[in-house]
Amino acid sequence: MGIPTNKGIRRINSRRFMHGVSMIEVLVTTLVLALGILGTSALQITGLKGTDAAHYRTVATFIANEMADRIRANPEGMISGDYETNPDAPISCTPISESTINCNVNSCTPSQLALFDKTQLTCGHVRRTGDWRTANKGGVTGSLPGGTLSISCGTSGCGGNTDHTITVSWNERADHEGQNTINTAVVLTITP
């Protein structure tokens, strides 16, 4: 018996058949990498939208709780219905009404304190010195896009010991382009 040899097998020049294969591999790899980066970018944008929504909800919740605390701290203003807001005549922040007294530095009646509280949480925290009516940092209008603050007590009004419903609402983007918005709200009801 003899040892088999490769004499009858024709050798194929592998170099000739492999010409251009590495270029195709590079193109496919680049395509897969580009799709992965696009997918990651879409996830990042969706995550940022969720972060904005959570931030706005946190700010709105803080403002609603702050208003609830202020209403509880001024029982005379609460009982007399001074905290109720008129949905047809929202609080104006430009300019802040001259009838609003800065209760941080002046003595105020319960009605004046209620107006000050509503103005401060709608228009922003006021400064303690200088022309405080020009301060417009924070508050519903400065912290939330299209933000509004309303306080209602049902059909009978806010007099007496009725429940006060505090609503902080704002506009939120419904799509990535920001073309469509939805109105979102935090609602808090307090019982005297």
- Cβ–Cβ < 8 Å for 82, 112: no
Cβ of 168: how many Cβ atoms within 10 Å? Answer: 29
The whole-model pTM stands at 0.69
Q: Residue 146: which of 188, 91, 96, 183 has the closest Cα?
A: 183
User: Amino acid identity, residue 110?
Assistant: P
Total residue length of the chain: 192
Q: What is the pLDDT along the chain (192 residues), one digit of tens a residue?
A: 566 666 655 555 555 555 666 888 889 999 999 999 999 998 888 777 778 888 899 999 999 999 999 999 998 988 888 888 887 777 777 666 666 777 877 788 999 899 888 888 888 765 444 454 445 567 888 888 888 898 888 777 777 678 889 999 998 877 666 677 888 889 999 887
